[in-house]
Amino acid sequence: MKQAEHCKLITAIIPNDGTDRELLRALRTDKQVIRASSMSVRGMAILESVLSRPGVVSGDMMVRLVNVIVEEASAEQLFDYVYEKANIGRPGGGVVCMDGDITATSYSLPEGVPDEE
């Protein structure tokens, strides 16, 4: 059984425009991070309420929730990498945050597993 290690959880909420797939691919190829996932969730832009009529809640939209588990030692660097690769700084680019200390078990993929399209 593999040893548990101290890690951090990086969470990004980004537009549903394919950025999540590009980010996961880059994390795997550039940084060898395989403890990451993406799922579709319903979100609402908080600034949209400024554009709507008073008393009217703006509509929701589908966004992507990306979770990345990283070793504590490289968490700061990978946080910056996720911010840049996901283009969070663009208008409507989303948000990224990092959670404190979590415990995770490391694992590796078997040899010969093909990359997803």
For residue 52, pLDDT over 70 is answered with no
Query: What pLDDT, in 10s, does the model give residues 55-86?
Result: 666 677 899 999 999 999 999 999 999 999 99
Tell me the domains of the chain and their CATH numbers: 4-49+58-105 (3.30.70.120)
Instruction: Decide if 24 contacts 66 (C-beta within 8 A).
Output: yes
> 0.95 exceeded by the pTM?
no
Closest to 26 in 3D by CA, of 95, 92, 86, 114:
86
